[in-house]
Structure 1
């Protein structure tokens, strides 16, 4: 699932580390076809009924009863749904008097959920990007602080709170007050993601590159080695153009500065020396042929398909990418990843300390009539068995501590665990709303394709920012 957060930011210490979405839940939900499916009862599915639950055997059958309805963001054909089916089957073994209905909405959940909740339809648990959900569904979300103290499923006596990667929980909690809610936890993060450069290890080896770049200078040197080996170094497409400009400026200055840049009503921040340095570096990438010649016309998912087919070496994306293009890349693709290289002459607030990350989340309806049974199901969905099932079957990052990450994301785990600052989707470059989408990104493309010189880029951005905000 492709996840840039238009809602998500729309979206992996944005998500720290907002990692894998999604397997693929990231930026553009709108750029991928919706996958809607009818309601499904996991207890009747083959994969669910076949699941003989080791985790369910941890406790005797409970006295919980009634009905629980869970709305999922996946379609019933996706690997994530198979893991959910197994978790529900495990839950049913331990809670035989609870009826569970899972509705696999696919990406249509983004437009169906709010009307359904507002109409009073029974939805006890639902999956959403926490950042979007807490803003748009704040009248419907249940505060989970007390429930998080319950014992987790399959985590050696840990509470639910202690079983989840701490940086993810900290991130989710940080979203509450800005959304207009009381401080606390309103979602349990799962299927994390982070934004990283993904690369083809075989192509790096062919070019004689033995270590991933950590500085901008090393990055340029590796691009030259790739070019000399006849390998196209960098690609991206229209769904992820924002990541490249945001990644550079965020690495140099941090996401707070980038946020201020796109919201500066005077246009003066665009005259900062780091912006001219950025423009010169982008011109350099273009002039030396390090950018794919296709970037001007690449429509999602063209760029990532070129990576999967070995036509290009690097692509800046979310940790859902290996799962999203697994069919094209094949089982023998040698995945590698690294953080955006450290950009020189910054302000000390960027670099490797920050990472753009986020996660999908499980949220509960505060008007639900069966909270006890619903949260017990949530515990199975975010339990260690289910989270590690997401890793093995969907190449997603497990949200539980001490869990093994899927092999294609092994290097991403290092970035995720080391990052100290959560950067939003796009490293703040998308936070200007219409100005970001209508001016910042298109003007960047003029620069990246050689249509605009660095000096003219700076002048145009300063002028356009002042013009845009003067009309507000």
Structure 2
């Protein structure tokens, strides 16, 4: 994934489950299909919804246009094609056109919607969509009361992981919309350390590290076994900075740090502790010697090839490098270790997570058929297909996760706070990309020491924000 997802809002959640996302380029491809029974938005019981759906099955007709964020060569598109085929079998009077845009959808969707082009359903990051396309999205609260497809009588809302539904609802207020649901989450993800279990076992590591001290001990065992412990590349350097500081102090603190106009927050003892720990990782050769020049996807390829043991990334990673890693690669994952001397706002209660979403155009002329297609796309069968064919954790409740992501459940069960991308370290925009990350690399490669790092960051922050 060479595009980062950075637009997620912090919120407290009682439970948390999230899942993988995967990148690629797109070609357009059209597929015809049709739609299934649609219950009235006012239905309140599964039985009544079923009867209403059956009565309306033959009345759904017209055309539905779905713009997908996947290319027609990705495994997700195959699952979508199967869902559309099932939809067509149940609703032969509805014509469906699927356009596989790939990630180009991010630049194509807004002008297409504004020009009035027929697009009934589209895929987007919900945070970005509600911020940039809020004049085009349909509120789905009533529609979510319809019966889901294949989830034992549950409504659509109740068939999706509750933490994801809570998350997308929270985004509406942030975007300035009436509180409610404007997207149905699917293809969720979380940011975790992914590791090669075989290398851990060879080094004698029997449990994943929970604390920073345990993390360092495991790095030493990995080094002694002849493997480099940690890698990253230029696309994900921010995750290591934010992971440490966010684990120590929480994402709100990290957000304030990168926005501090005085530069004084960079003199906080936690920043010096961070700098000393990064220097320690470098001095003990726990970082891959290639991190200075690693260009995406070099780091993750080294993980797949067994040259390095750990890589901080998203849950899309096992699928993204499956061709290199092979079917026998033993995947494991764990949350960023707990950093000592923090403020109790971080730790493993916080996790960066999000999802893609399915949204309806509020100007659609065929909402009943469009939403019925959405129900197939987030139905139990399709989500099982995503898990099996795309190595993605399904968005539906009570659906088995793919084996490479099984250990991610531990992090999801621990977490109660949804942290933004990079734990807030990217919230400084140009300051983050132009100063925070480059100066971190000077520290991580030994060009500057901890005290010099603190002084430089304080001075650079004051200089950047002067007059702003």
What's the TM-score, normalizing by structure 2?
0.93
Does the aligned pair in 1 maintain the 2:17–2:161 contact within 8 Å? Answer: no
Partner of 1:282: 278
Go from structure 1 to structure 2 and tell me whether the alpha carbon gap of 1:244 and 1:264 turns closer, same or farther (over 3 Å shift). same
Does the aligned pair in 1 maintain the 2:352–2:421 contact within 8 Å? Answer: yes
Go from structure 1 to structure 2 and tell me whether the alpha carbon gap of 1:373 and 1:304 turns closer, same or farther (over 3 Å shift). same
Go from structure 1 to structure 2 and tell me whether the alpha carbon gap of 1:350 and 1:447 turns closer, same or farther (over 3 Å shift). same
Any runs of at least 4 consecutive aligned residues in structure 1 with deviations exceeding 6 A, and if so which?
none
Q: Tell me which of 108, 114, 119 is aligned to 2:115.
A: 119
Spell out, residue by residue over 1:90-137, the C-alpha distance to the aligned partner (whole angstroms, 9 max, x if none). Answer: 111111111100000011111111110010000000001111111111
Q: Tell me which of 389, 393, 397 is aligned to 2:393.
A: 397
For 1:281 and 1:127, locate their aligned partners in 2 and report how far apart those are by CA, in whole Å: 41
Q: Tell me which of 40, 43, 46 is aligned to 2:30.
A: 40
For 1:357 and 1:6, locate their aligned partners in 2 and report how far apart those are by CA, in whole Å: 10
For 1:136 and 1:415, locate their aligned partners in 2 and report how far apart those are by CA, in whole Å: 31
* 314-323 vs 417-426, greater mean Cα deviation: 417-426
Gap regions ≥5 residues in structure 1: 26-33, 45-55
Within 5 A, what are the aligned runs for 1:446-461? 446-461=442-457
For 1:132 and 1:359, locate their aligned partners in 2 and report how far apart those are by CA, in whole Å: 11
Deviation at 1:43, TM superposition (A): 4.0
- Report whether the alignment pairs 1:224 with 2:214: no
- Report whether the alignment pairs 1:82 with 2:78: yes
Spell out, residue by residue over 1:374-433, the C-alpha distance to the aligned partner (whole angstroms, 9 max, x if none). Answer: 001001101111011100000011000111000000001221233111001111100111
For 1:373 and 1:187, locate their aligned partners in 2 and report how far apart those are by CA, in whole Å: 17
Does the aligned pair in 1 maintain the 2:7–2:421 contact within 8 Å? Answer: no
For 2:76 and 2:215, locate their aligned partners in 1 and report how far apart those are by CA, in whole Å: 35
Deviation at 1:62, TM superposition (A): 3.4
- Report whether the alignment pairs 1:268 with 2:264: yes
Q: Tell me which of 349, 370, 394 is aligned to 1:353.
A: 349
Partner of 1:444: 440
For 2:77 and 2:233, locate their aligned partners in 1 and report how far apart those are by CA, in whole Å: 28
Partner of 2:182: 186
Partner of 1:4: 4
Aligned alpha-carbon RMSD (Å): 1.7
Gap regions ≥5 residues in structure 2: 35-49
What's the TM-score, normalizing by structure 1?
0.92
Does the aligned pair in 2 maintain the 1:435–1:468 contact within 8 Å? Answer: yes
- Report whether the alignment pairs 1:204 with 2:200: yes
Does the aligned pair in 2 maintain the 1:216–1:344 contact within 8 Å? Answer: yes
For 2:257 and 2:467, locate their aligned partners in 1 and report how far apart those are by CA, in whole Å: 17
For 1:320 and 1:8, locate their aligned partners in 2 and report how far apart those are by CA, in whole Å: 17
Does the aligned pair in 2 maintain the 1:354–1:420 contact within 8 Å? Answer: yes
> Matched residue of 2:89: which SS?
helix
For 1:174 and 1:7, locate their aligned partners in 2 and report how far apart those are by CA, in whole Å: 13
* 130-139 vs 334-343, greater mean Cα deviation: 130-139
For 2:412 and 2:331, locate their aligned partners in 1 and report how far apart those are by CA, in whole Å: 16
Count the aligned residue pairs: 446
